[in-house]
Structure 1
């Protein structure tokens, strides 16, 4: 499965905008109208970067580093587009 930097950004955006601190894979997939396995794969890639973390109950949350990335400017953070 190919990495999709735009999908990774969309996942992070959904997590940041959510009123809930944790989101399940299915909820993210539904919000983005995407397949669950594709979302899970990209969540794991984001977890590799340290920007999200899977909780004990199987939901996902933004980490401190994930918030820093989303609040930073392109000069301060690592652009996901540069990873593609």
Structure 2
């Protein structure tokens, strides 16, 4: 019973309540900042994955173009072209 009377006395004190409100607000801002950072990290990772996929696609296109061109080359020229690609 004395705990209830103690809590009601603290709840009636404006200074204690304003400190409590500030603490709760600070915790809320900290949590919101963590969520924001997580969203930024996820967006950054997604952008990196997209860039990597686009690079792989472009490399595949270049390789396909080189393969098509190599089909029409004589054997020695095709070997030179293959060696050029093998060095990359």
TM-score by length of structure 1 reads 0.22
Structure with greater Cα Rg: 2
User: More strand by proportion, 1 or 2?
Assistant: 1
User: More helix by proportion, 1 or 2?
Assistant: 2
